[in-house]
Structure 1
Amino acid sequence: MPSPLGGTRRCFWSLLLLTLILFLLAGLLHVDIKMFTPLLRGQAEGPPITNVMFLKTHKTASSTVLNMLFRFAEAHNLSVALPASSSFHLGYPWLFQTRYVEGAQQDGPQQQFRQFNIMCNHLRFNPTEVQKVMPNDTFYFTILRNPVFQLESSFSYYRRAAPAFKAAASLDAFLAAPHTYYNQSLGLSNAYARNHMWFDLGFDPNALVEESYVSARLAEVEQRFQLVLIAEHFDESMVLLRHRLRWRLDDVVSFKLNSRSQHSVTSLTPEGQERAKRWCALDWLLYQHFNRTFWASLLTQLGQGRLHSEVAQLRARRQELTALCLQDSAPKNKTQITDRRLQPFQSGEADILGYNLRTDLDNETLRMCQRMVMPELQYMARLYTLQFPEKPPKNIPFLEA
């Protein structure tokens, strides 16, 4: 009878030989050895993470991420922490409280809270309250954008909402003399006008830019969030997020949502861009720091070769779904969208775009494509009805006009 020990030794030497061959090939072909690690491990990375909190910062491609999370939640029958009653956000711009979540506070002799799998609607981060309705093993992440372009987008989108923006003839005019227009005493109503991402994280947007203060807040963000994505590198962000969450490729493929037409985008002068960095100095320091840590995490986890390969796969799959779902790959303005239910909300001076779907889709494909292009208000209202069928549905006024 063959010795079991001999079989074990043969297995060991075979695996060692295979490993050496792969390393040699990687060296000869300049291929990143991390591309072979699933083969060397011989096992899957593990089950997908289903408890996720996404801090949805404003004007940072976060609506596209929210759609992805909503689709994942619906596909896996997960619970979502949705705005209570007729609200469309989780108490924003006030600091988050559990009472802003539908069904979070449970009746009983002791104050108990229902916990949810997914939280991703707009809120101002308040970790002690968020932790009451999210499980202990929740994965926390957020997304940042270059504050120059984030501010430009906010100016267009919130022109009629923020007092600081209303009187300014243009963003360049605002940035030339911001304190002429910005009244700090107005507090939350001007949240959109300065260090908006810093504010969303729960910090003071008017704090002095002191090294000790900034370093302490950056350390807090690193402690609270396992991952900070970068909007300018959206595809790379989705590749890294997919690995961290152990999700499938199709779970992170998306179409760009809540984007503006080019005619409603303003190009700041170089001088205006420098003024924006100074005016939003806290956001600029935040962005610079996490842009560095993002790339460090990406290259450490994946390596250059595997990153390029997986970004190419993501873009190829998006192209396939574009051809499958959309009448025309180019997004449309509100007057061109034929299905009124798929029209996005319009705000300020921004011309928010949406999509038309092909008319020859079978029912199953149509449902999948509808979810991919569904604007956030409509999708949130849909999930609310599915999750709380006993409650009155959320009304979306602009669709009923």
Structure 2
Amino acid sequence: RTNVMFLKTHKTASSTVLNLLFRFAERHELTVALPAQQLLHLGYPSSFLAHFVEDFQSIGQNYNIMGNHLRFNPSEVRKVMAADTFYFSILRNPVRLLESSYVYYKNVVPAFRASKDVNEYLASPLRYYWRADRQQNIYARNIMWFDFGYDNNAEDDGRYVQQVLREMEQNFQLMLIAEYFDESMVLLRHGLCWDLDDVVYFRLNSRSRESVQALSPESEERVKAWCSLDWELYLHFNQSFWRRVEEAIGLEQLHKEVDELRARQKELMETCLSEQEAVGKDHIKDKALLPFQSGAANILGYNLRQDLDNRTLRTCQRMVMPELQYMSQLYSAQHP
């Protein structure tokens, strides 16, 4: 499959997924729906409109890959993507997600700025979370629900939640789970009929362990209540993920292919990387490969080996290239 729409959710390992989509697009000379005017997002946090895509007026419904941040609006997305497009997204446990958002968006989200740390915020979120700031506070509550185009401050009403989940199931063929990333890559590969190398990856936009704030057990439970829409979303699709595994390939085959993926990843790390692992921002030697930094998070990157031949260097560079730099490169190629 070459027509793919990925709803890039926030703080869910989605940058790693976007990288492999960009690599696939480049390798097969596909057209990527990039943000108009070289912006970073496709209109986010506004609801997506087709004209947010560069050259939409002239290219029309002939884009192959869409994956930059947008707030899902299916009727407008369908104006850009072909009828046979494969739609997928990725979800993360809201407990981990909220902590990650807190650290990453600490300086830009009013509800986070006003609190000392994530546990203080969760002890009494309504003390810091003002409805008047709702547009700036989207990362502070039910961010996944918002990314899918729904009201992140909606009442947690059973019938409403079930209706939304049904809509999501109709709109998306696959929901990946960040906690089972390798398993997700295997399932994605099967869904798209891609090769192993199409889904092999190095983790991108991850942060150093020192910047992780420890959540108290009470805080963990509070996230489930405060972000109850995201929690129900996650539980629902976590269950359907494993059903999908059973239907598509079975657990035994899944484990076999996960092992193959990890072996290939290890092989590429040995080929490409001088340290065999991600390094902190201060240790990245080639500043062209420095990822965007935000909040209190130390976003990690990679150093490539110096002895690579041109072809290998190109492959390795693509695998470690941060999102903004990759977008810029695709932009130059597609819209010279």
TM-score interval (norm. to shorter): over 0.9
Distance 2:162 2:249 in 1: 28
Deviation per residue, 1:267-316 (Å, 9 max, x gap): 20111100011110000000000000000001121112111110100000
2:290 counterpart of 1:338:
no
Which letter does structure 2 place at the counterpart of 1:59? K
| 2:275 partner SS | coil
Cα separation, 2, equivalents of 1:158 and 1:310: 36
Residue 148 of structure 2 aligns to which amino acid in structure 1?
L
State the partner residue of 1:58: 10
Deviations 1:194-241 (A, max 9, x none): 000000000000000010000000000000000000000000000000
Residue of 115, 118, 126 corresponding to 2:73: 126
Task: Report how far residue 115 of structure 1 moved.
Answer: 2.5
Q: Secondary structure at the match of 2:89?
A: strand
1:182 aligns with 2:129: yes
TM-score (norm 1): 0.83
Check the 8 A contact 1:115/1:132 in 2, yes or no.
no
Q: From 183, 194, 202, give the equivalent of 1:255.
A: 202
For residues 21-36 of structure 1, the aligned pairs below 5 Å read none
1:321 positional shift: 0.3
TM-score for the superposition, normalised by structure 2: 0.99
- Counterparts of 1:102-251 in structure 2 under 5 Å? 102-106=54-58, 113-251=60-198
1:379 aligns with 2:326: yes
**Distance in 2 (alpha carbons) for counterparts of 1:290 and 1:150:** 16
Q: SS state of the match for residue 297, structure 2? A: coil
- One-letter code of the match for 1:142? S
Amino acid corresponding to residue 219 of structure 1 in structure 2: R
Are 1:71 and 2:71 counterparts?
Answer: no
Per-residue CA deviations over 1:341-364 (Å, capped at 9, x if unaligned) read: 100000011110000000000000
**Which sits farther off after the overlay, 328-337 or 64-73?**
328-337
| Post-superposition offset of 1:242 | 0.2
| Partner residue in 1 for 2:245 | 298
Q: Aligned ranges for residues 278-317 of structure 1 at < 5 Å?
A: 278-317=225-264
Alpha-carbon distance in structure 1 between the residues aligned to 2:10 and 2:272: 27
Residue number among 281, 292, 295 corresponding to 1:348 in the alignment: 295
Aligned counterpart, 1:38: none
Structure 2 residue identity aligned to 1:88:
L
Q: Equivalent residue for 1:80? A: 32
Gaps of 5+ in 2: none
Mean CA deviation greater in 279-288 or 330-339: 330-339
- The partner residue of 1:368 within 274, 298, 315 is 315
| Per-residue deviation, 1:99 | 1.5
What is the one-letter code of the residue matched to 1:372?
M
Larger-gyration structure (1/2): 1
Contact 1:195 1:281 in 2 (8 A): yes
- Secondary structure (helix, strand or coil) at the match of 2:5 reads strand
The answer to whether the 8 Å contact 1:105/1:114 transfers is no
Q: Distance in 2 between matches of 1:217 and 1:308?
A: 32
List gaps (5 residues or longer) in structure 1.
1-48, 107-111, 390-401
Matched residue SS, 1:142: strand
SS of alignment partner, residue 54 of structure 1: strand
Shift of 1:114: 4.3
CA distance in 1, matches of 2:217, 2:134: 29
How many percent of aligned residue pairs carry the same amino acid?
60
- Secondary structure of the 1:188 match is coil
**What is the rounded CA distance, in whole Å, between the counterparts of 1:59 and 1:266 in structure 2?**
15
- Is the contact between residue 259 and residue 353 of structure 1 (CA under 8 Å) also seen in structure 2? yes
Give the aligned partner of residue 12 of structure 1.
Answer: none
Q: Secondary structure at the match of 1:228?
A: strand
1:161 partner letter: V
Question: How far, CA to CA, are the matches of 2:38 and 2:2 in structure 1?
Answer: 27
Give the aligned residue type for 2:10: H
Q: Paired residues, what number? A: 336
1:6 corresponds to? none
SS at match of 2:55: coil
Distance 1:376 1:190 in 2: 24
Q: Give the letter aligned to residue 156 of structure 1.
A: V
